[in-house]
A and B are shown apart, each in its own frame.
Chain A
């Protein structure tokens, strides 16, 4: 993490409360200061595609609202009381106690409190997510591992052939997570696999309970989630496929489908058929749009991404490999741990035509903007980032589209940027920015 962080593009580990909320009928219980949940939800829920609070989010989330008393005398008594009453007041299938800075610094024995309820057979797990421990992406990994270790049954159950757990974008951190996960599931179904996703509508603990039965875990992510699939491998012996790039557009999606099919050991014919059909469909629309794209020459030629590693990699692959744009520096703002940075950077050397994109890892938006102001783009650039880039883009005369946190300038329901359809949405959105700019 940078020494000083301007324009926050992620939050702290406690932000993983939103990952709990993404599991239907799962409720986080915060053992944290009085404002922590409100603040984290403010950006992850409200200022990121207007995702809102949902079933038990926002101010509905139980919280001990730790005060001086809990800091000085310890907060486990208070936590025990709030947890016990959460079961009495709220209807839910799973409760996840998440600690904030206050509890983790004073050293409350939360494990002990959780154990008391677990021994009563209550569906409750805990994770120590004090904000100083890392980002919400790291917190997301902590929470999933806590659920795997404390809630899922021990190894030994039957394996269901073709069942694949999908782990990818982080709920709420990615404003498009529901659409993206839905699209990935759809693609996998069409090649004969049975996708299992725990996040999003209609899934919940039923999907969670199926996690140990999967044939394999599919991680579509540059780095977030590696800890989770490794734990599942350890715990259940489930193998995993790590596919780093979010598949956007025909080139990457075709490669993605073939890689998955090969790993799953399924017949290639239906896969190739799906790819051909999808590419034909995609290019039907490209053929029609080409007249405007080719004649007006208004599509920006050069671009930067200022995004989490999912979108920086996924979007740049699509813009270079399929749309024919040229990359300037790509800024990765999700505080990707140093141990993964080399592998992530290597992915930015894997474009067609030998094109490479320089990568800068920093979560300090101020530094990013300083660097962008120094780039000579030759023409109006495309700035794919967050709403932090709105003012900057005006200043440097760029075209700006928010796709990564905070997406405060767009409403997102079930839009997806993944696969063939997702790439079409991205073209629509980028070119709409261009068209609206001069009209």
Chain B
């Protein structure tokens, strides 16, 4: 039985033994020493993390001709405000028009918490349909319906006969998992269950065998390029450029893709992920159910990582020689362009904090640029990171700290005070702590900027160069701004709040 036969996907703690609390080192984590197994630990002090709604809504809000209904309290899903900027600019860059994401809230109140929120959800679905006549209405459940027992799948099934919009239930109850990457599974789960059926058959009035053969050939050269919103259009364009240079057509899925065209994902020759944290759930499903093979390793950030990624794709289509030619040309051009920046980077110490694979891929990139990595924090750990640990341990000059943490800037502040890096790369909303310590920072994810592929390497180097050339903004700020932590916390062992489940702290 497939996971997709169930109403909800399993949480990643169970499916992938994903973990969020660990302090160790890159060589310790590399295969053969730690293995892939990290004990399930927790923290005795925690700061605000992230829940499934953040990545979940980032994907869902981008879908054209769709309305998102957040079933929860009115503050739930308010991250959609900032994601709306991405929807506006993403729509503008793709289709030349600015449009807001359509998202509604059932704004559950006290009486609905007591008496159930299903009638209000039904009313909201009907109202969304009246207002917009969309192709899909996506019902996203926050914590409240999960606790009070509202059955969003039942509501969707009840109303499906009444309206022509496809109703998609998506489970994003934040309390159910500590691994918010489960959100990718939750969204893919619903897309996979609801939007992959073929449209009603369009038969040719006059049969055309040649056209059919052409279509068959085209599909044999079409690949799915998975994007869960971790790449902006600029990054998609870079990967499209590389894939087209192999003679392939590209179908980007699922962000900004039209619901009525999503079924095409089944007919591609290959699915290509840029990050296993994002896509393993759906890619395995597409292979099992529809026979679409997939590639699920190496995030194309950094020169060698992009080479690996491209080689894997080329090997599938037996285009190794072509790929080597492309790689040789791209890398030569890139190295020449990077020469200008490298002297400034040589020997500078860098610290990185980001999502699992992205953090490690960027560490590889910075090493290629001449930085010395002194520490990495990644949002979670699972089996997919093992190959990254191994790759990095091989190129590490000396061992360095790895901290698995879902945000938790207090641990970061402690580490940065001790390690004093020259450069910090942090996720969106994750650069303030380092900046307040006067460290030059650069954001590691922003859909308006280019990070991916060979172009991404150059753009990243150019931006980091600029940042290091004049780091006065952060340096000046740190003369006046203080972090809120006690001195005694900086003196403590950085992982002293990490403990075994239900156990004592590792002092």
Q: Does B46 contact A (CB under 8 A)?
A: yes
Q: Indicate which residue in A1, A46, A390, A408 contacts B74 across the interface (CB closer than 8 Å).
A: A1
Interface segment among A80-88, A158-166, A222-230, A268-276: the answer is A80-88
Q: Are A60 and B78 in contact (CB under 8 A)?
A: no
Contact indicator A68/B175 (Cβ below 8 Å): yes
Known contacts A6-B103, A58-B432, A89-B485; A33/B174 CB under 8 A: yes
B75 interfacial by beta-carbon distance below 8 Å: yes
Interchain CB contact (< 8 A) of B127 among A3, A13, A14, A27? A3
The answer for the CA separation of A37 and B79 in the assembled complex, in Å, is: 10
**C-alpha spacing A63/B433, complex, angstroms:** 17
Contact A55 B484 (CB under 8 A): yes
Name the CB-closest residue of B to A10. Answer: B74
Write out the residue numbers on chain A whose beta carbons fall within 8 Å of the beta carbon of B143: 33, 100-102
Write out, one digit per residue, whether chain A residues 348-371 have a CB within 8 A of any chain B CB (1) or not (0): 000000000000000100100010
Task: Closest B residue to A405 by CB, please name it.
Answer: B81
A391 near B73 with CB under 8 A, answer: no
Q: How near does chain A come to B303, taking the closest CB pair, in angstroms?
A: 32
Q: Which of B124, B174, B177 gathers most chain A CB within 10 Å? A: B174
A30 to B48, CA, bound (A): 8
List the A side residues contacting B486 at CB < 8 Å: 88-91
Cross-chain contact B178 with A36 (CB below 8 angstroms) = no
- What 1/0 flags go to B72-87 for Cβ under 8 Å of A? 1111111111101100
Binds B, one of A119-127, A129-137, A176-184, A237-245: A129-137
B75 contact from A12, A85, A88, A391, Cβ within 8 A: A12
Segment among B51-59, B152-160, B233-241 that sits at the interface with chain A: B51-59
B427 → chain A closest CB, angstroms: 10
Report the Cα distance A42→B176, complex, angstroms. Answer: 22
A11 on the interface (CB 8 Å rule)? yes
| Known contacts A8-B81, A35-B51, A388-B100; A131/B175 CB under 8 A | no
Q: Are B489 and A35 in contact (CB under 8 A)?
A: no
B99 on interface, CB distance cutoff 8 Å: yes
Q: Give the interface residue-count category, chain A.
A: 35 or more
> Given the complex of chains A and B, what is the CA–CA distance between A81 and B120 in angstroms?
37
Tell me, in angstroms, the Cα distance from A1 to B124 when the chains sit together.
Answer: 13
- Verify if B331 is at the interface (C-beta below 8 Å from A): no
One of B106-114, B310-318, B344-352 contacting the partner: B106-114
A71 within 8 A of B: yes
Contacts A8-B78, A43-B82 hold; do A90 and B105 have CB atoms under 8 A apart? no
Q: Who on chain A is nearest to B85 by CB?
A: A408
Task: State the CA gap A132–B150 with chains docked (Å).
Answer: 15
Please report the C-alpha to C-alpha distance between residue A192 and residue B432 in the assembled complex, in whole angstroms: 41
**Residue A38 at the chain B interface, CB threshold 8 Å:** yes
CB pair B407–A12 under 8 Å, yes or no, is no
Interface footprint category on B: 35 or more
Chain A residues with CB under 8 A of B174: 33-36
Q: Do B484 and A92 touch across chains, with their CB atoms under 8 A apart?
A: yes
Is B34 on the interface with A (CB-CB < 8 A)? Answer: no
Alpha-carbon gap, A388 to B177, bound state (A): 32
CB-contact partner of B180 in A4, A10, A34, A366, under 8 A: A34
B161 to chain A minimum Cβ distance, whole angstroms, is: 21
Provide the bound-state CA to CA distance between A131 and B105, in Å. Answer: 13
Q: Does B50 have its Cβ within 8 Å of any Cβ on chain A?
A: yes
Q: Is the CB of A131 within 8 A of B484?
A: no
Q: Cβ of A259 < 8 Å from any Cβ of B?
A: no
B253, CB-defined interface residue at 8 Å: no
Q: Is B75's CB under 8 angstroms from A36's CB?
A: yes
Interface residue from B54, B99, B175 paired with A102 (Cβ < 8 Å): B175
With a CB–CB cut-off of 8 A, which chain A residues contact B78? 8, 11, 39-40, 42-43
Mind listing 13 A-B residue pairs with CB under 8 Å? A6-B105, A8-B80, A34-B406, A35-B79, A39-B78, A40-B75, A43-B81, A46-B82, A59-B407, A63-B48, A63-B49, A82-B45, A105-B113
* Across the A-B interface, the 7 shortest Cβ-Cβ residue pairs: A35-B51, A12-B75, A131-B73, A85-B45, A37-B48, A11-B75, A33-B174
